[in-house]
Amino acid sequence: MASTLEKFIHSLDVRALPRVLQIQSGIYCQGSVYEMFGNECSLSTEEVIKVIGFKINKLIASICENNEVSQFSAKVELPLNFPGLYKVVADKTPYVSIEEIARKVSIGPTRFGHPSFYSTEDIKLANFTIKHDEQITFNSVEEVHGTMAVNCVVVRNNQSHSFTLPLSQEGEFYECEDDQIYTLKEIAEWKIPKCRNRIVKLSNTLHMWDSCSPLPENFDGCLILMPVYEVQAVMKFRKDIVHILSDLDVEVKDITDCYDTSSFLQPLSLEEIFERPSKEFPMVAEIMEGHSGSQKPYNLLSTGKEIVIYKKYQASRVLASEIRSDSSKRHYLIPMSYKGKFKRRPREFPTAYDLEIARSEKEHLHVVATKAFTSPHKELFSVSVGDQFLVQQCRTSEVLYEGRKKLIDVLACEQILSDSYKNVLLPMYMEGGFVEVIHDKKQYHLSEICKEFHLPFNVKVSVRDLSVEKDVLAAAPGLQFEEEITDSYLLVSSASNPVESWEIPVYRLNVLVHLLSKDVQTVVPPVTRTTVEEVSEEEYYMLRRYENLTLHPPPRPPKKPT
């Protein structure tokens, strides 16, 4: 059965991709050629396309009054980077099953992907009853004992209770009120259900819009948002990816079940290439949708270029951030092959517990107090601003508390006086402030720092990497090496001029390729090059989140005796 492209995409489950569509009818101008995002896309009747992906491109907004479109409101286009912070208004239309929620609502690993609903009736499980009107948070969808289910959490009396609800669970489920605020881009990516519009309330305007704002002056009301999707598709006899807006006035028919999809080129993401068996490497591929960048190695990944992918592997990087007083920090992934050198910079420590974590057997940690602390116990030392200490080790000590002796953790230090040293004990729960005194003037390679010191570690580039044209780290006022991570890479070179090969990150580049049935001239990759990669704020937090899942967090500092 034919439907408009807009209706088809609005109802399409991303898990059902790819889908083969036949164009049934449309409005065509000048030979059916549309210019969209740099791609000419000719959609004539009975043409066949394979849809491989879609995402929200922009939003159509109408002013909302009493949950309905205002009769005086004109529809306006809002780009996803339109400024402002918005609150999501809970949808008043119920969902009739858990399956409908899982199909229409974005549920994922980030905090944006944990929607909350309540049931109008009690739900009795094997060993747990969910009360009506109780908030249920949906965390993930997975297969449990052969049945698809949603992992859920209910909080009662500050205690979390985890359970699963099968997709077959029916009922009347309503969206809970959401007190968080979001950007328009976050709402588009996570908070607009399939086949539904979304009402939002402007909570806070950020910076001024560069051009004339499409919204009324001083507007602070509600908007109804309707998404317009950008559809990624493959066409026969074309090697590029075409982009089609979902509001294009064409009708389509889903013919996936009766069409041979092998007649289309098969686009593969870098993640899909990485998942292939190692024995399939090396391979030759052509870039179908490339990465914009003129500097190496990204100039290898321009649309239409052919590359050799030699192998896949895990490689170490150091995650580093600029040391700046403002919030505009830049973040980097530094390869171990970086040839520059670093000098140490003072670290700052908010508690005595942080001093214990940072101390090493190689050298005494020398610090100056930047904040005063008065000890509640006469056995322990009271700190004044400017006091200097050499950190020794953690131990336990007896203190008199309410007439009784009690053992607590302390940090043994030597206080540096003008002509002598004094042994003192600092309570581990002490919330003070210390800054490191650096005596070490040595210059270190990155691998030496990772081997000899605990991270985080503060440095500044003292000798830039002369093997690259521009060393982006050299301009930084200071860097904090935060942690060493392991990430996934593909080793790639140009197919036409394989003089050097580059490590390409798998999970941070939106590149699509298709494999060519060409023999690789040489299976041994040319000399391997690496580069310092600048990562966005979002990528930085995803790296920290992923890495922290694999590490056991350090124990919390001991609490002050009460």
Residues 384, 255 share a domain: no
Residues 483, 382 share a domain: no
Q: Which helix (H) or strand (E) holds 379?
A: none
Q: Which of 266, 240, 252 is nearest to 9 (CA)?
A: 252
pLDDT of res. 121? 95
- pLDDT tens digits for 253-273? 999 988 887 778 888 999 999
**Helices marked H in 58-178:** 98-104
pLDDT of res. 14? 81
The CA-atom distances, in angstroms, between 365 and each of 346, 350, 412, 434 are 11, 15, 12, 11
Q: What are phi and psi of 195, to 5 degrees?
A: 65, 15
What is the rounded average pLDDT for all residues in the chain? 85
Residues 341, 447 share a domain: yes
Q: What SS3 state is found at 522? A: coil
Residue 556 covered by a domain? no
Domain end marker among 233, 265, 297: 265
Residues 120, 245 share a domain: no
The tokens 């402030």 sit on which residue? 433
The larger pLDDT score, comparing residue 133 to residue 541, is at 133
The CA-atom distances, in angstroms, between 98 and each of 138, 171, 178, 278, 329 are 10, 8, 19, 39, 42
Q: What pairs with residue 485 in β-bridges?
A: 317
The larger pLDDT score, comparing residue 548 to residue 105, is at 105
List the structure tokens of 473. Answer: 């780290």
The tokens 């009460």 sit on which residue? 562
Looking at residue 422, which CATH number applies to its domain? 2.30.30.40
Q: Would you say residue 37 has pLDDT above 50?
A: no
Residue 86 covered by a domain? no
Q: What pairs with residue 264 in β-bridges?
A: none
**Rounded distance, CA 460 to CA 475, Å?**
9
pLDDT of res. 31? 40
Gap between the terminal Cα atoms of the chain: 72
Q: What SS3 state is found at 272? A: helix
**Torsion over CA of 470, 476, 477 and 481, rounded to 10 degrees?**
-130
- How many structural domains comprise the chain? 4
**Helices marked H in 66-125:** 98-104
Q: What SS3 state is found at 357? A: helix
List the structure tokens of 259. Answer: 């069409």
pLDDT of res. 309? 95
Domain end marker among 222, 244, 265: 265
Residues 335, 442 share a domain: yes
The CA-atom distances, in angstroms, between 408 and each of 373, 389, 403, 431, 558 are 17, 20, 15, 15, 9
Q: Which helix (H) or strand (E) holds 7?
A: helix 5-11
Residues 447, 424 share a domain: no
Extended beta strands in 176-326, E state: 181-182, 198-204, 222-235, 242-245, 250-254, 268-269, 283-289, 306-322
pLDDT of res. 553? 42
Residues 397, 340 share a domain: no
Residue 443 covered by a domain? yes
* Beta-sheet pairing, 404-416 with 388-401: antiparallel
Residues 538, 515 share a domain: yes
- Whether the CB-CB separation of 97 and 233 falls below 8 Å is answered with no
- Whether the CB-CB separation of 399 and 342 falls below 8 Å is answered with no
Residues 427, 410 share a domain: yes
Kindly state the average pLDDT of the residues 17-41.
62
Residue 474 covered by a domain? yes
- pLDDT tens digits for 448-481? 999 888 888 999 999 999 988 889 999 999 999 9
List the structure tokens of 264. Answer: 């289309």
Sorted by sequence, the CB contacts under 8 Å of residue 364 that are 6+ apart come out as 390, 391, 392
**Rounded distance, CA 502 to CA 494, Å?**
9
**Rounded distance, CA 51 to CA 62, Å?**
29
pLDDT of res. 551? 41
The larger pLDDT score, comparing residue 187 to residue 211, is at 187
Residue 367 covered by a domain? yes
The CA angle 349-353-359, to the nearest 5 degrees, is 75
- Whether the CB-CB separation of 249 and 263 falls below 8 Å is answered with no
Q: Would you say residue 550 has pLDDT above 50?
A: no
Residues 447, 330 share a domain: yes
**Rounded distance, CA 88 to CA 222, Å?**
10
- pLDDT tens digits for 305-359? 999 999 999 999 999 999 987 767 899 999 999 999 999 999 989 888 888 888 8
pLDDT of res. 67? 63
pLDDT of res. 41? 54
Kindly state the average pLDDT of the residues 35-46.
60
List the structure tokens of 465. Answer: 């990497």
pLDDT of res. 558? 54
Q: Which amino acid is at 328?
A: S
**Rounded distance, CA 153 to CA 116, Å?**
9
Residues 280, 234 share a domain: no
The CA-atom distances, in angstroms, between 356 and each of 412, 448, 449, 451 are 10, 22, 19, 19
Q: Which domain holds residue 41?
A: 1-66+73-81+190-265
Q: Which of 342, 517, 361, 344 is nearest to 435 (CA)?
A: 344
- Long-range pairs, 412-419, Cβ under 8 A, ≥24: 413/381, 413/389, 414/389, 414/390, 415/381, 415/387, 415/388, 415/389, 416/366, 416/388, 416/389, 416/390
pTM over 0.85: no
- Whether the CB-CB separation of 111 and 139 falls below 8 Å is answered with no
Instruction: Provide the sign of the torsion angle of the four alpha carbons 216, 222, 224, 228, taken in this order.
Output: positive
Other beta carbons within 10 Å of 531: 21
Domain end marker among 208, 241, 265: 265
* Beta-sheet pairing, 123-124 with 116-119: unpaired
